[in-house]
Amino acid sequence: MLLAIEQGNTNTLFAVHDGESWIAQWRAATDSSRTADEYAVWLSQLLHMAGLQFGVLDSCIISSVVPQSIFNLRNLARRYLHVEPLVIGENAELGIQVRIDKPSEAGADRLVNALGAHIVYPGDLIVIDSGTATTFDVIAADGGFEGGVIAPGINLSMEALHSAAAKLPRVAIQKPQRVVGTDTVGAMQSGVFWGYVALIEGLIARIKAERDKPMTVIATGGVASLFHGATTAIDHFDPDLTIRGLLEIHRRNTAART
C-alpha cells in the first residue's frame, strides 16, 4: 500500500492507497518542527482506527512546500515504513516539461496538480488551487507546466484585514446573501468573498485572452468549494487533483524502476 503525503503551508494530508482506491485520508495542521517520531505516534493511532498498521505500507511519496519539514517526513518513511520515499523535487521523475524561466522555483504542489489535471482533462488547462495562497497555473495540452499567477489566499486576506484594522473583527468566510453588507461583518464577508470571485473571474479572463485559445478551468484546494455555484468561470471542482497526481507520479516511477 502507498502512503501519500501532501504538505501545504497550512495543512498536511496523509492518504493511503491500496492499489485500487484511496481507503483512508487524514489531515493535520502543518508544523515544521514536528519530528518523525511525533508524526509516527499520531499516524499509528489513525491507522489503527482504520484497521491498518505501518506494516502494510510498503511505499511512500512526499510533496511538500515546507522545505524544513521534508527531513522529518523522509525519516518517518525510513524508520516506520522501512522504505525510501519518493520526494517531489528530489528523487521523483514527473515526466512533464516545466517551461518557466527558473524551473527549480516551481512549487511541488503546483507541478503535482499539473499532472493530476493533465491525466484527466484534455486540452489546455488553468488549474486554480485555493489554499494559503491562491495559484492559477497554466498547463499545456501536452501536460507541460507553463507558469501562472500567485495571489494571497482568501483566509490570509481575511486575517490581514482583521490584524491591520483595529475595529474590524475576525469573521468566518461564507457566501453572503447580498453584495452590499448592512453591517460590518456582512460588509467584510462580501468584500472578501465577492472580491475573490472577481479575482478568479478577472484572472481567468486575462489568461484566456493572453493565450487566445480555449482552456478548461479546474479548481482544487481546501477552500475551493466555497466558490462552487458562485461563478461560471470554473468548469470543474476537483478536490482529488493533488493526490491523483501523486499516485500517477508514484506509478510512473515504480514502472521506470522495474
Topology of the domain covering 103-244: Nucleotidyltransferase; domain 5 (3.30.420)
List binding-site positions for K(+): 129
Same fold across 2-92 and 103-244: yes
**220 alpha carbon, distance to own chain's centre:** 7
List binding-site positions for substrate: 107-110, 184
Q: How far apart are CA 149 and CA 214, in angstroms?
A: 18
Topology of the domain covering 2-92: Nucleotidyltransferase; domain 5 (3.30.420)
At 75, the amino acid letter reads N
Using 50, 70 and 90 to split pLDDT, how confident is the model at 105?
confident
Alpha helices in the chain (DSSP H): 36-49, 67-76, 108-118, 154-164, 184-211, 241-256
Ranges of each domain in the chain: 2-92, 103-244
pLDDT of residue 169: 72
Q: What are phi and psi of 3, to 5 degrees?
A: -105, 115
What size, in residues, is the chain? Answer: 258
Using 50, 70 and 90 to split pLDDT, how confident is the model at 166?
low
List binding-site positions for ATP: 6-13, 132
Rounded to two decimals, what is the model's pTM?
Answer: 0.86
Compare 50 and 258 and report the one with higher pLDDT: 50
Would strands 133-139 and 125-130 be described as parallel, antiparallel, or unpaired?
antiparallel
Which sign does the torsion angle of CA 140, 145, 147, 149 carry?
A: positive
- What's the mean pLDDT when you consider all of the chain? 90
Q: How far apart are CA 8 and CA 20, in angstroms?
A: 25
In this structure, the number of other CB atoms found within 10 A of the CB of residue 143 comes to 16
**DSSP class of residue 81?**
I
* Tens digit of each residue's pLDDT (9 = 90 or more) over 7-16: 988 889 999 9
* Tens digit of each residue's pLDDT (9 = 90 or more) over 167-185: 677 777 778 888 998 888 8
Mean pLDDT, range 230-240, rounded to an integer: 92
**Catalytic sites, residue numbers:** 109
Mean pLDDT, range 44-51, rounded to an integer: 94
